[in-house]
Amino acid sequence: MGETIEKRLGDLGITLPAAAAPAANYVPYVRSGNLLFPSGQLPIKDGKLAITGLLGRDLDVAAGQEAAKLCAINILAQAKAALGDLEKIRRLVKINIYVASAPDFTEQHLVGNGASDFLAAVLGERGKHARVAVGMAALPLNAAVEIESVLEVD
């Protein structure tokens, strides 16, 4: 059957964190039929918001890519909490990448590659996805990036 998602994560030195609990009046994910909609994920590492500020003012593209990667790791943590087994992911359908940006910052697509490249590496063919990457004036808690996702699951 090939390498599992967990094996690919391990090969990359990544241990999924516990899925983040909601910070307000919402649930961490919703499943509707064979679609899983995790709530938006922030760049949280070790239980703390790890990367804050505006891209193009406080942060460079590399820092934004790391923030996007952390969001993607947290998406997988939510998927594991919802499904119990990452192998139940049929495919990543779409991600929406929200980048806190200075008014003249125009490289949101490059920031988004931090998540897209990571998810493709971990999920393989199942990780090929549609996406949008847009700039925002601000994000919750001054997060640099927030990502929402849709997954097709068993």
The strand ranges marked E within the chain are 29-32, 35-38, 44-45, 48-49, 89-100, 130-136, 145-153
Q: Quick one: tokens of 98? A: 């929200």
Domain 38-153, CATH homologous superfamily name and number: RutC-like (3.30.1330.40)
How does pLDDT run across 26-73, given as a tens digit for each residue? 999 999 999 999 999 999 999 999 999 999 999 999 999 999 999 999
Mean pLDDT value of segment 87-115: 98
Give pLDDT, residue 59: 98
Tokens of 33: 């039929």
Of the candidates 130, 134, 69, 132, the residue with the CA atom closest to the CA atom of residue 108: 134
Q: Read off the pTM.
A: 0.97
Q: Which residue do the tokens 């064979």 mark? A: 34
